[in-house]
Chain A
Amino acid sequence: MSHADFTASLPMLIVSVTAVLLMLSIAIRRSHMAAAAISLIGLFVALASLPFASSVVPRQVTAFFIFDSYSLIYVAILLLATAFVFLLGYDYLDRRKEHREEFYLLVLLATTGAMVLVASRNFASFFLGLELLSVALYTLIAYARTERAVEAGIKYLILAASSSSILLFGLALIYSGSGTMELSQFTAMTHSTRQASSLLFLAGLALTLTGVGFKLAVVPFHLWTPDVYEGAPLPVTTFIATISKGGMFALLLRWFHSEVGGLAGAPGLVLSIIAIASMLTGNLLALRQTNVKRILAYSSIAHMGYLLVALLAGGVLGASAATYYLAAYMVTILGAFGTMTVLSGTRWEAASLDSFRGLFWQRPLVAATFTTMLLSLAGIPLTAGFLGKFYVLIAGASQSRWVLLFTLVVSSTIGLFYYLRIIVVMYSQPAEHIAAGDPGTLPLSIPAALALAALTGLVFLLGVYPALLWNVIVEATHNLG
C-alpha cells in the first residue's frame, strides 16, 4: 500500500480508528459525553481529511476499493449525516439512563460499512460493507430493549440475513457466468445486449437486486420497513433512513448508471416496475397510518422510487439528479426525525399523530422546522425537496421516461395528503391539559437546536441556491463507472 493509497483511504481509516479508540475508552471509563465527543471529533477529522484524499483521486486501492470524486462526495454526505445523527440523538440517549456509549460505537461501525459500500468496486468488498452495516444494525434496532424494539430487531435480523444470503447466491451466479468479480465489468455487461440475455446472468442479477432492494426497502422487499422504523429507537431510525440507504444507493448508482441513454433491457424493465410499484405502494399505504414513524417509513419507500426514476433515466443528468435528490432527502429526513427525537421524553417517543396536536401553538419554532421538513418531503418550492424533484423531472424528461414521470406526479400528489395531515394536526387546537413530559414542556438541548437550525438552513439553501452542491455533484458524477 503506497503513500497515496493510504491518503486516499484516510477517511475510512479514521472512522475505523475512532471506533477502536471509542471501544478502548469505554473499557476504561464509561462517560456518555466523552463517547459522543470522541465520535464527533473522529467524524470531523475524517471530514477534514477529505481534501487530502481528493488530491490523490481517482485511485484504485487494492482490488477492492475505488476512491474517486464520486465516492468521496458520498463519503462526505455520509459523514455529515452521521454527525447529525449524533448531535440529534445525544439528548435522546441522555434521557435514557442505560448503556448509551455503545450506540456511538455501533453507528461508527455501520457508517464504515456504508463507506465501504460507496467505495467498493468488487463483489467481495460489496458484501463486506453490506454485512458490516447490517450486523451493526441488528444490535442498534433492538437497542432500546423494549418489546417492540426487540421484535423489530429480530425481524430485521432474519430478513436481512436471508436477503444477504440470496444476494450472495446471486453474486456467485454472476461470477460463475462471467468469471469476474469486478463491478465495473458488471456495468459493461448490464448494458451490452449480448451477455445480458444469458439466463445465468439474469438469474444472478435478479437475486442480487433482491438483496439490494431489501436494503433500500423498495417494493416488493419493503415489508420490514414500517415495523423496523417504528420499533427502533428514533436515532437508529434516522440512521437507517439516511446512512444505510444512502450507502446502498450510491453503490447501485455506480453499478447501473449509464451516460448513454439510461437503463434498458431486462434490468431496466425490472427496475422500472420496482420504481413504479414503490412510488404508488409507499404513498398509498402511508395514507391510513396514524404513527408518524410509520408514515415516514412508507414515504421513504416512495422516495426510493423517485430516486430510481433518476437512476433509470440515466443520461448526462441521471446520476447528478439522483445524487442531488438523495442529498436533499437525507437533509430533510434528518430534520424530520430530528424534530421527533427532540420531542421524545424519557420513556416514550413523539411518534403518534396525537403527540403533535397543537404543537405549533406551544412550540412554534420546532413546529415550523417540522413543517419545513414535511413540505420539503412533499416537494414544495423553496425547499430542497422541490429542486430535487425538479432535477429528477429534468433527467426523466430529457430521456422521455414519461410513464415514470406521470407516476411520480400522481404519487407525489397522493403523498401530499398525508404530509398535510401531519401539518394540520400541528396547527390544530392544542389539547386541553398539558401533562408533565408533554412535547410542549421538554427542554431543547443546545446541540440538537443547533443541528436542527443547520438542517433547516440547509433545506432552504439547497432549495434556493442549488448551484453550490450541483456543480460539485456534476463534477463528481462525470466519470462514473
Chain B
Amino acid sequence: MILPSLIVILIIGGIASWIVARRSTVVARWIAVVSVLADFATCLGVWMARAGRSQFTPERWFVECNVAWIPQFGIHIHLAIDGLSLALLLLTYFLGVMAVLCSWTEIQERVGFFHFNLLWVLAGITGVFLATDLLLFYLFWELMLVPMYFLIGIWGHERRIYASTKFFLFTQLSGLLMLIAIVALAVFHYQSTGVFTFDYEQLLQTTLSPRAARLLMLGFLIAFAVKLPAFPFHTWLPDAHTEAPTAGSVVLAGLLLKTGAYGLIRFVLPLFPGPSHELAPLMMTIGVIGILYGAVLAVGQTDLKRLVAYTSVSHMGFVLLGVFAGNQIALEGAVVQMISHGISTGALFILAGLLQERLHTREISQMGGLWETMPVLSGAGLVFAMASLGLPGLGDFVGEFLVLLGTYRANVGLATVATLGLLAATLYGLRFAQGAFQGPNRHHWRLPDMRPREWAALGLMMICLVWIGLYPQPVLRAIRPSLATAQQSALPQELVRR
C-alpha cells in the first residue's frame, strides 16, 4: 500500500491546502511542502531498503500493488516501482519541493488553488511513473495536464491563455492517438489470446503483425515525442514555458518532459522492439536535429525564459538520441541526462523567476552587471549556466557524454554532428552569463541579493548537480537493471551479438 499512498498523499494534500488557504496562506504552503516531503521520504525509504539488499535479486519490481478496477476489461490499478521509476520519483519530489519554495513569494493570489493544482500535477506525474496498467497510465497521463493547464492559464504571464490552450491541444490530440493505440493493442491481445487485459507485462507478450506493430508504435511514439518534445512537435514548449509561472516552468521542464522520455523507455522500446529498431535511425536523426535546432535558436533569444526553453529542446534531443541509439551506455546516459536536466533547468527557471521578481523583466538586454549588486545570485546563475552547457564535473556532462559515447558506437556520423550541439551550448551559456551578470551595470540596478530560503533551494540543487557530475554511480546502479530489461526485449539481436 506504499505506492497508492504516494498519490493519495498529494491528492489529499492538494485539497487540504486549497481549503486551508482561506484562513492562512502560510499554512497552505506548509501543507504543500510537507506532503511533498512525505512522499520524498517514502521514496528514499524504498531506495534505502533496496540498497541494503543484494544487487542480484532477480525480481523485476521493488514494490507492487495490484487491485482490480474494471474487471470486465482486465483493467487493474496496478502500480509498481523499479529503479528507473524510483530515480525519477525522487527527482519529482525534489523538484516539487523546489517548486513550492520558489512560489513562496511569487504567488500571492489564489494561493490555495495554486497549490492544489501544483500537487495534483505531481500526483499525476507520480501515477505516470508508477502505472503498469496501460489504461491507468493513460489516465494519469491526462490527469497531469488539466492542473498544469490551470497553472499556466491562471497564474501565467501576458499570453497565458494562448500558451495554455496550445499546450493542452497538442498534448490532448497526441494523447488520444495513444489511447487508440492502447485500446487497439488490448483488442489485438484479446483476439489472439481471448483475454482482455491492459496489463503491461501481459501485453509485452502480445504477438503483432509487423504492420500492426508499426502503426501502434506510431500512436505511442507521437504522444511521447510531443511531450518530450522532439523536433517538429516542439512548438508548444517555448510558449508554455515562457508564459508559465516559475513553479509551472520548473514542473514543466523538470518533470513533464521527462514523462515523455520515460514513456519511450518504458513502453515504446519493450512493446515494439522490431519497429523501434527499424525507426531508430530516423528517431536519432530527429534527436540530432533537435539538439542543433534548439541550441541555435537558444542563442538568438532575448527573453531569458525562452532561452532556457529552447535549451530544453536541445537537451531533450540528447535524450531522444540516447534512447534510440540501441545500446546500454547511451540509454543510461539518456536517463542521467533526464535527471540532471531536470535539476539544472529547474534551477535556471527558478533563477529567471528570481530575476523577474526583482527586475520585472525577463529581457537579457535589460540586465547586465548584476554581479555588482547581487554577487551570490549571479554566482549561482553562472554555475547553472555552466551545468546547462555541459561543463565536466556537473550532471549534464555525464549524461551528454554517455549518450555521445553510445551513439558513437551506433552511428559515428550522427555522434559527430551531435557534438556540434555542445558547441552551440557553449555559445548560449556564455552569452547568458555574460549578458546578464557580467559587464557594466548600465541600468544602475540596486537589488537585494539572495534570501536564505532561495539559497537553500538553489544550494541543494547545486549540490545534487555536482554529486551526479562527480559520482553518478548510485544513480547508474539503480537504473541499470530496469534499462537492461527494456533493452533486452528491445534488441534481442544485440544480446546475441554479445
* Chain B associates with chain A: yes
* Interface residues in chain A, defined as those with a beta carbon under 8 Å from any beta carbon in chain B: 361, 375, 380-382, 386, 390, 393-394, 397-398, 405-406, 409-410, 412-413, 416-417, 420-421, 424, 427, 466-467, 470-471, 474
Asked if B179 is at the interface (CB within 8 A of a chain A CB), the reply is yes
B184 in complex: contacting residue of A380, A382, A397, A427, CB < 8 Å: A397
Q: Are B190 and A398 in contact (CB under 8 A)?
A: yes
Are the CB atoms of B72 and A390 closer together than 8 Å? no
Beta-carbon contact of B70 and A466 below 8 Å: yes
Indicate if the CB atoms of B180 and A409 lie closer than 8 Å: yes
Give every chain A residue within 8 A of B169 (Cβ-Cβ).
413, 416-417
Asked if residues B183 and A375 are in contact (CB atoms below 8 Å), the reply is no
* Contact across chains for B187 and A394 when beta carbons are under 8 A apart: yes
CB within 8 Å of A: which B137-176 residues: 138-139, 142-143, 146, 149-150, 153-154, 161, 164-165, 168-169, 172-173, 176
Inter-chain CB contacts under 8 Å: number: 67
Other-chain contact of A380, B71, B146, B183 (Cβ < 8 Å) = B146
Q: Does B135 contact A (CB under 8 A)?
A: yes
How many of chain B's residues touch chain A, expressed as a range?
20 to 34
- A417 CA / B173 CA spacing, docked (Å): 11
In the complex, are the beta carbons of A381 and B139 less than 8 A apart?
yes
Residues of B within 8 A of A471 (CB): 72
Residues of chain A lying within 8 A (CB to CB) of residue B187: 394, 397-398
A-B CB contact pairs (8 Å), 22 listed: A375-B146, A381-B142, A381-B143, A386-B142, A390-B135, A390-B179, A393-B179, A394-B183, A394-B186, A397-B184, A398-B190, A409-B179, A409-B180, A410-B173, A413-B173, A413-B176, A416-B168, A416-B169, A417-B169, A427-B150, A467-B72, A474-B72
A-side contacts of B179, CB under 8 Å: 390, 393, 409
Given the complex, which residues of B lie within 8 Å of A382, measured CB to CB?
139, 143
Interface majority SS (helix, strand, loop, mixed), chain B: helix
B391 contacts the other chain (CB 8 A):
no
State the CA gap A361–B112 with chains docked (Å).
12
Assess whether B154 is in contact with A409, with CB atoms less than 8 Å apart: no
Provide the bound-state CA to CA distance between A325 and B26, in Å.
44
Other CB < 8 Å A-B pairs besides A393-B180, A413-B173, 10 of them? A380-B143, A381-B138, A390-B183, A409-B173, A409-B180, A410-B173, A412-B176, A416-B172, A420-B165, A420-B168
Q: Say whether B61 faces chain A, with CB atoms less than 8 Å apart.
A: no
Docked CA distance A272–B454 (Å): 60
Are A393 and B183 neighbours in the complex by a CB distance under 8 Å? yes
Bound Cα distance A413, B153 (Å): 18
- Docked-complex contact B183 and A397, CB < 8 angstroms: yes
List A contacts of B70 (CB < 8 A).
Answer: 466-467, 470
Report the bound CA distance from A424 to B166 in whole Å. Answer: 13
- The main secondary structure of chain A at its interface with chain B is helix
Q: For residue A386, which residues in chain B have a CB less than 8 angstroms away from its CB?
A: 139, 142
**In the complex, A413 Cα to B175 Cα: how many Å?**
10
Chain B CB within 10 A, most for which of A361, A390, A466: A390
In the assembled complex, the Cα of A406 lies from the Cα of B180 at a distance in Å of 8
Closest Cβ of chain A to B216, distance in Å, is 11
State whether the Cβ of B177 lies closer than 8 Å to any Cβ in chain A: yes
Judging by beta carbons under 8 Å apart, are B183 and A470 in contact?
A: no
A412 to chain B: closest residue by CB: B176
Min CB–CB distance A439 → chain B (angstroms)? 19
A380 near B173 with CB under 8 A, answer: no
Q: Which residues, 36 to 61 on B, are CB-close (under 8 Å) to A?
A: none
Q: What chain A residues lie within 8 Å of B150 (beta carbons)?
A: 427
Complex Cα distance, B183 from A393, in Å, reads: 7
**Bound complex: CA of A244 vs CA of B246, how far in Å?**
49
Contact status A394-B143, CB under 8 Å: no
Q: Which residues of A contact B146 (CB under 8 A)?
A: 375, 380
Cross-interface CB contact of A405 among B110, B138, B149, B180, cutoff 8 Å: B180
Q: What's the least CB distance linking B313 to chain A, in Å?
A: 23
Cβ-neighbour of B153 out of A393, A427, A474 (below 8 A): A427
Query: What distance in Å separates the Cβ of B203 from its nearest Cβ neighbour in chain A?
Result: 14
Residue in B138, B149, B176 whose CB lies within 8 Å of A409: B176
The 5 closest A-B pairs by CB, nearest first: A413-B173, A409-B176, A381-B139, A397-B187, A381-B142
- Which residue of A has the minimal Cβ distance to B138? A381
**In the complex, which residue of chain A has the Cβ closest to the Cβ of B150?**
A427
B73 contacts the other chain (CB 8 A): yes
* Mask: chain B, 193-209; 1 = CB below 8 Å from A; 0 = not: 00000000000000000
- Within the assembled complex, what's the spacing in Å between the Cα atoms of A386 and B142? 10
Contact partner of B177 (CB less than 8 A), chosen from A409, A424, A427, is A409
Per-residue A-contact encoding for B104-133, CB less than 8 Å = 1, 0 else: 000000100000000000000000000000
Determine the chain A residues whose CB is within 8 A of the CB of B172 once the complex forms.
413, 416
Contact, CB under 8 Å: A427 / B143:
no
Contacts of B191 in A (CB 8 A): 398
By a CB distance below 8 angstroms, the chain B residues around A390 are 135, 179, 183
Question: In the docked arrangement, what's the CA distance between A406 and B183, Å?
Answer: 13
Within the assembled complex, what's the spacing in Å between the Cα atoms of A416 and B165?
9
Taking CB atoms, residues of chain B closer than 8 Å to A405 are: 180
For residue B168, which residues in chain A have a CB less than 8 angstroms away from its CB?
Answer: 416, 420
Task: Write the chain A residue with the least CB distance to B176.
Answer: A409
- Find chain B residues with CB under 8 A from A416 CB: 168-169, 172
**Cross-chain contact A427 with B154 (CB below 8 angstroms):** yes
Chain B residues lying within 8 Å of A467, measured Cβ to Cβ, are: 70-72
| B-chain residues with CB within 8 Å of residue A381 when the two chains form the complex | 138-139, 142-143
Q: B414 to nearest A CB, angstroms?
A: 33
